Each structure stands twice: as C-alpha cells, then as structure tokens.
Structure 1
Amino acid sequence: MRVLVTTYGARGSVEPMVGLAVRLRELGAEVRVCAPPDDEFVELLAGAGIPLVPVGRPVRPMVTTVVPGSAVGLAQRAAELIAAQFGPVAAAAEGCDALVACGPLPVTAGARSVAEKLGIRYVHASHQPVILPSPHQPPPARRGRPLPPGVSDNLELWDVDARNANDMFGEMLNSHRAAIGLPPVDNVRDYAFSDQPWLATDPTLSPWPPTGLDVVQTGAWFRPDERPLPDALLSFLDAGAPPVYLGFGSTPVGAPEDVVRVAVEAIRAQGRRAIVSRGYGGLVPIDERDDCFAVGEANHQALFARVAAVVHHGSSGTTTTAARAGAPQVVIPQGADQPYWAGRVAELGIGVAHDGPTPTVASLSAALATALAPEAGARAKAVADLIRTDGATVAARRLLDGVR
C-alpha cells in the first residue's frame, strides 16, 4: 500500500503529519510527505526516515513577514498552492492508494481534485476544530473577508464563509480541474472537507459535539520523539527548581524584545527561572543573568515534563504537548485558533487564558500565580492521564483498513 501525505504550513501543520507517516510506515505502508522545502522540514523528515517531496516556497519567510490578518499577496499565494497540488503533488500521488491532506483550503481542495482524478481515497485532516462547520461555533474570518456584523446565527455565518471561499478560490481551482478533465465544483470548502473529515485533536482537550458533519476524531497525532535534551539545557534544568518555559513557536509577536522582557520579569516575580524558546520570532533573554536559558529546536515532550509551567501562544500542538506532560499553562493567544485553545485550557482548569495578546508584567504575573498554584498543577497532572497518545496509530489503522 502506498500513501501520500500533503500539507503546507509552519511546524504545527507539518509535525503531526510526520507522526501519521511514521505510524503508517510501521504498519507496512509505503509513505511519502509533500511539505514546504524549509531546512527544518528537510531535517525533520530525514530524521524520521520519511521521503520528502518539497512543494511550494519556504514557509518561514512568509510567516515572519506577512502582517497578521493582511490579505496582501493572498491571491498569488493561493494560486501557487493550488498549482502545486496539480503539479508536484499530483506527480507524487501517481501509483498511490490514498492521499491525506491538511492545510489551507487551496491545498486540500487541490489535493482532493488530484485524488478524484486518480480514483484513490482522499482524507481531509484538521488539527484545529474551529475550521469545521458547526452550529456550536462561528467560522473564523478569512483574510480580507470579515464576517458580517450583527449576524449571530452560526449556520448563517458558515453559509457566508462558504460563499467567501468560493469567491476567493473557486475560479482558480476550477480552471485547474478543467485542464485535467474534471467538472467544476460549486462549494470549494465543503468539497475539500469531504463528507467525513478527520479531526486530529484529543477528545478531552477538544471534544467535538455532534453535528450534521460526520467528523472522525482520532486523537492528536504525535511524532515519536526520543531525542535527548541538549547537555547545556539538562545542566540548566538540574541546577535548580523547575523553570517556566516561554515560547511562541512559529507565531509572530509584535515587539519580541518587549514580550520577552515582560515575560521574564513576570517569571522572576514568581521566584522562578526561565527557559526562552527562540522560535520564528528569534526570542532571546533580556540580560546575561544565569536564571534564563535560550533554547532552539528541542524535544518538547521531554522538556515540558521538566518545567513548572508553559507560557505560550496556544497552538494545538503546544497546548496538547503541555497537557500530555501535565504542565500547567498560561496561553497568550495571538490569533487564528489560539483563542479556542486558550479557552479550553481555562475551562479544564489546567492553566490560564490571558486576556489579550499583549501581556503586562502585572497581568502575566497574576496569570502565572494561578498556573503555579498547587490546584492547577494537580489538575494538569490529572488531565494528563486522560490525554490519548495513540491518535496517529488510530488514524493510520483506519486509513489502511479503509483502503484494503
């Protein structure tokens, strides 16, 4: 059996798909992954022993230069992503039995078109529930397409979202479909999602309420990570009480120096040391004191088990990894699905959702005091026992059983 996995995005979009690919290979499938050609993904796939088919432009320069929420250049990027699905992705899918796609709508709609043309199974995968139509939640606004004010009915808003998606991507997609002999689609979003999308999130952290959409929730997809922590980091961890981790991953933050200064001062106010993760924003400690340590790429599964709390942006991956480690969290959401995950952390009692994307020393100190209290720690450890670790295996088996 041959499976192609395609995705486009930053680390949070690629790493779970690598986790799925590893499990598929362990179950006997031949698998390759289409992903951006960034050096970090080349290294990630090589380390996992999974062939990489580089697709599109490097994603890191775009993430770090595009103004959040801006639609400038969106049409060009969408056209490139759609063309890539009908080009190198389609070539990689030749001879495959199944195609699993994750990422922006131009990627998934194009990928399903390729699967349709080849007559192979297609699965849409999502690592965030907020993009799936549901009467229980409104859709996220698309870049340059704000939702109409004064409309509170979620289903009506999802209808607006479908029309926006058609306006933004319909003509691009259908021109490529026509070129390979496929008929046009009149609902790009729902076509990409299919009748049975997969939701790769943990059911305790992210319960999916029943809807008219037949969502398959598999659990989160973890990449097996047995890498030891760097010696210098281990020495820092061993030199005192568990520190507080600070990191925003691939999410850009305004004025990174100010964010680090505020965070480190708030961490010190709690009598704690700090680990500062550089991430895409290039965060660095504010001074030379020995109570702060800067870290680059590292095994978060191992690191989060050694910290007192995790202060982060609220991506699905970081939230789930911290919850799995039993580490209390302070989530400072910057956008996208991050407010959702911040809310779930607060609702579960495993940490604090910071009010707004720009903390002050006072606001973050208060949030940390709550997260570092014994009650939050005990609750985080209790929830950790409920987090599923077999999501990628469940998904891999389901995929292979459905194709055989």
Structure 2
Amino acid sequence: MGLLFATLGSLGDVKPMVAIAAFARDAGHHVRFATSPGHRRLVEEAGLRYEAFGSDAFFESRDVRDAMVAPRTGFGVFMWHANLVALEELHGRLTEISEGADMLVATPLVMAAHLVAKQRKLLFVSCVFSPAMVLREASAGAVDPYQDEWRRRLNALRQEAGLPRRSFPQMERFSADLTLGVYPPCLRPASGHYISAPLEIGYPRLQMPLAPLDRGLATWMAKGDFALVSFGSFVDRDAENCFASAVEACQRVGLRCLYVSKHSANNLALATGGDVRVERFVEHSQVMPSAAAIVHHGGTGTLVESIHALRPIVVTPFGLDQTYNASRVQEHDLGEVLNASLIDPNTLAGALSSAISAWPRREALALSAIVCDQPEETAVREIEQILNAHRN
C-alpha cells in the first residue's frame, strides 16, 4: 500500500516519523517522506524517497527562534512560520505528492494534512510527540495571534474543496482515523481531557549507522568528566547568557562543559578553552552516555535520548511542549527542572549538583521509564489494521 509521511519542525519531530516510515517500507509498503529541505539528508540516509515540502529557513532568524519559545504565543508563531505563511502553497504541494497514496501519516504540525486527506479520500493517521499536542489543559492560557487569519484562509480552502465552513477550522487537523501517541510512557498525563485521545505506542529511536565520532571531540571527551549542555536543534534564546552560565555552573560542580548550539556555535567558540568545547551539532546517542550530567530543553526526542543514556538530567524548558514534558520529568522524579528564564550560574550549578547527588536514587526510575517494546512495529501494525479494514 502507498503511505505518504509528512512532518515539519525540528529533528525531534522528524526522527520518530522516519523510524516508523522505514519499518513500514521494510514491511513491504510503498513509502514516501515529505519534509523540509533541512532534513532531506536524514530521510535519504534512511533509504526513504524524499519529497520536498515546506521550508525551515525561518529557523535561521534569531528573532523568530526567540518568539517561538514565548510562553503564551510561541506555538502560534511557530505555526505561522511553518504553515500559515505559505498555507495555500503547502496545501497544493501536499495535494500533488499525495497522488497515488492510500494513506497520509502526518502530525498536527502540518495544518494542510487533514484537508488533503479529505479531498483525496485518504486514510489519515496523526502522530503526536507529546501529550501537550492534544491535551486541552496543556494549551490553557495560550494565545494564537493569527487565529482570525487561520479561520479565513482555511475556510477558503475548505470551500474550494467542497467542505463545510467551520468556526475553528484549525481544530479539524485533529480529525484523524487514528491518533498515535509517539512519546514515552513517562509523559503520559496523570489526568486531563484530550482533543483527540491517542493510542500510546512509545517513542521510536531511529537506528541508523553513524559516522565515527569526530576525533577531536572524542579526544576532548576522554580527558575528564564533562556535562553536555544542549538546547535542541532550534532553541537558541539568550545564547550568550546560557553559555556563560553553563560554563561557570560546570566549573562550580567540577565538570568541564560541552555546549551544543546550532545557531551560535561560531560566536560562542571564541570564548572556549581547554575545559570548554562548543559544537554546532552532536549525535546525542554517541555523546550522552559518556557525560557526567546532561542539561537540555526538554524536547521529546532529546528527553528520550537523555533517559536512555542513564545519566543525571537537568531539564530547562523554554516553551512549546517542553514545559509540559518538564512537569512529567518532575512528577516521575527523573531529573531536576529549572525554567530557562531562571538560568544563571547559581541556579544551574545548584540544579546540576542536585541531579548528580540524586542519581543513585533515580537510576532505577530511569531504567523503568525507557521500557517500550518496538514502538515503530506497533505503529505499523495499527496502520495496517486500518488499511486492511477499509480494503475489506
């Protein structure tokens, strides 16, 4: 059967979808994968057919990156840049590349997906990477500054497709045949009300051959204990302050500092020395297990890798789903939580010290948190059940 996967966003929004798509391909399905150009290499290295879809150029703007993690309006800003700026173009492109597909597998981050599925009469599976995507309580207090424009432009597309007008057409993106909860069990909410109740399958960790670790980085890592400080593939808010605070905090707890910053690495590297190293990107699965402690933003993909690494964790949520994820880390006693707006040398050193001292107690909790049997296999099995039910 023909499956078209489509997603937009950061690496944490792409890698689990690639893992599911690759398993579907190996199960005999005809698979194509649509995402922005920045992720093309990852998709093709997984052996999948790549379809260009959307843009990630907006990540290069520091003002945009800052705005995307604003507590109340950040998600609306992200959806504007990822979708609404070129909504009609994205709709047209997805309509074009979905020709011949039997099912569209997408995320709520792709606003046009539900419309194309209805127009093409395709089965539609939605993948959410945190309960925050579908929990009503998680979005309480959030403000979408573009709500009126969403309504106007989505209803115009609905009219063209012969679909009825909706008061809040952006909510129709949750109207899937199946919603998969692509996140670890530790993120499951204790209570709450879902917009669309997900079938929780766990978070697939993409397994691919990796290039050997850079020799210079490997040599540096081997010289002594260090903390890995990594705020994701697009978060870069207040980079200079975060970097200076991380360096001093690490020194106070007796650790060297490996700081990862995709967008500010070149500038920050000017301030490095023997005990401080800055990288634009590292493969977390290669580096995290060697760290004495890990500081990160709480994105689902980074969180999963940090738990698998079985190292002390400090989560510093900036916004988006990170705040929700951090609350679950705290609830399950998996690590320390420090709001990103409170980062300074004192607070971060305190959080690192607490995380390290609490690790003997938390190690068993981390081990239990990562137990999840083949989530990509579960996803494909559920996808096939829907395909078979409609074929029969």
After TM superposition, is the score higher than 0.5? yes
Equivalent in the alignment of 1:217: 200
Equivalent in the alignment of 1:301: 285
Q: Normalization by structure 2: what TM-score?
A: 0.86
Matches within 5 A, 1:253-272: 253-272=236-255
Equivalent in the alignment of 1:101: 106
1:223 Cα shift? Answer: 1.5
Equivalent in the alignment of 1:4: 4
- The amino acid of 2:291's aligned partner reads V
Partner residue of 1:87 out of 77, 92, 109: 92
Write the distance in 1 (CA, Å) between the matches of 2:42 and 2:81. Answer: 28
Equivalent in the alignment of 1:125: 127
Matches within 5 A, 1:66-77: 66=64, 67-68=66-67, 69=70
Equivalent in the alignment of 1:310: 294
Matches within 5 A, 1:157-176: 164=147, 167-176=148-157
Stretch of structure 1 that moved more, 81-90 or 182-191:
182-191
1:73 Cα shift? Answer: 10
For residues 188-223 of structure 1, what are the alpha-carbon distances to aligned partners after superposition, in whole Å with 9 as ceiling and x for unaligned? 244211264222111123346474643211111321
Equivalent in the alignment of 1:50: 48
Change (3 A) 1:310 1:74: closer
Write the distance in 2 (CA, Å) between the matches of 1:125 and 1:307. Answer: 31
Partner residue of 2:259 out of 276, 291, 299: 276
For residues 239-281 of structure 1, what are the alpha-carbon distances to aligned partners after superposition, in whole Å with 9 as ceiling and x for unaligned? 223x210111234334312211110110111111121112234
1:352 Cα shift? Answer: 0.7
1:56 Cα shift? Answer: 2.3
Write the distance in 2 (CA, Å) between the matches of 1:76 and 1:211. Answer: 28
1:131 Cα shift? Answer: 2.6
Equivalent in the alignment of 2:344: 360
Write the distance in 1 (CA, Å) between the matches of 2:234 and 2:179. Answer: 26
Equivalent in the alignment of 2:387: 403
Partner residue of 1:65 out of 63, 66, 77: 63
Partner SS state of residue 181, structure 1? coil
Equivalent in the alignment of 1:142: 143
Change (3 A) 1:6 1:211: same
Q: Normalization by structure 1: what TM-score?
A: 0.84
Matches within 5 A, 1:285-300: 285=269, 287-300=271-284
Write the distance in 2 (CA, Å) between the matches of 1:208 and 1:122. Answer: 28
Partner residue of 1:111 out of 110, 113, 130: 113
Partner residue of 1:202 out of 180, 184, 189: 184
Residue 173 of structure 2 corresponds to residue 192 of structure 1: yes
User: What's the Cα RMSD here?
Assistant: 2.6
Write the distance in 1 (CA, Å) between the matches of 2:127 and 2:84. Answer: 21
1:170 Cα shift? Answer: 2.3
1:403 Cα shift? Answer: 0.6
Write the distance in 2 (CA, Å) between the matches of 1:142 and 1:4. Answer: 32
Confirm or deny: 8 A CA contact 1:329 1:345 kept in the other structure: no
Write the distance in 2 (CA, Å) between the matches of 1:237 and 1:197. Answer: 41
Partner SS state of residue 201, structure 1? coil
For residues 334-390 of structure 1, what are the alpha-carbon distances to aligned partners after superposition, in whole Å with 9 as ceiling and x for unaligned? 1111111222222222211114424111111110001111x3244135423431262
Partner SS state of residue 340, structure 1? helix
- The amino acid of 1:34's aligned partner reads A
Write the distance in 1 (CA, Å) between the matches of 2:202 and 2:79. Answer: 32
Write the distance in 1 (CA, Å) between the matches of 2:83 and 2:152. Answer: 11
Matches within 5 A, 1:321-360: 321-360=305-344
Change (3 A) 1:75 1:372: closer
For residues 7-44 of structure 1, what are the alpha-carbon distances to aligned partners after superposition, in whole Å with 9 as ceiling and x for unaligned? 12222222222122112112221211111122xx1221
Equivalent in the alignment of 1:21: 21
Confirm or deny: 8 A CA contact 1:350 1:371 kept in the other structure: no
Stretch of structure 1 that moved more, 7-16 or 360-369:
7-16
Confirm or deny: 8 A CA contact 1:252 1:281 kept in the other structure: no
Confirm or deny: 8 A CA contact 2:127 2:179 kept in the other structure: yes
Write the distance in 1 (CA, Å) between the matches of 2:246 and 2:56. Answer: 30
Stretch of structure 1 that moved more, 335-344 or 199-208:
199-208
Confirm or deny: 8 A CA contact 1:5 1:99 kept in the other structure: yes
1:331 Cα shift? Answer: 1.3
Change (3 A) 1:314 1:87: same
For residues 89-111 of structure 1, what are the alpha-carbon distances to aligned partners after superposition, in whole Å with 9 as ceiling and x for unaligned? 1111111111011143xx23x21
Q: Which runs of 5+ in 2 are unaligned?
A: none
1:225 Cα shift? Answer: 3.5
Partner SS state of residue 301, structure 2? helix
Write the distance in 1 (CA, Å) between the matches of 2:274 and 2:45. Answer: 32
Confirm or deny: 8 A CA contact 1:63 1:252 kept in the other structure: no
Write the distance in 1 (CA, Å) between the matches of 2:78 and 2:207. Answer: 36
1:122 Cα shift? Answer: 0.3
Change (3 A) 1:44 1:116: same
Write the distance in 2 (CA, Å) between the matches of 1:239 and 1:403. Answer: 53
Partner SS state of residue 42, structure 1? helix
Identity value in percent? 25
Partner SS state of residue 23, structure 1? helix
Confirm or deny: 8 A CA contact 2:83 2:90 kept in the other structure: no
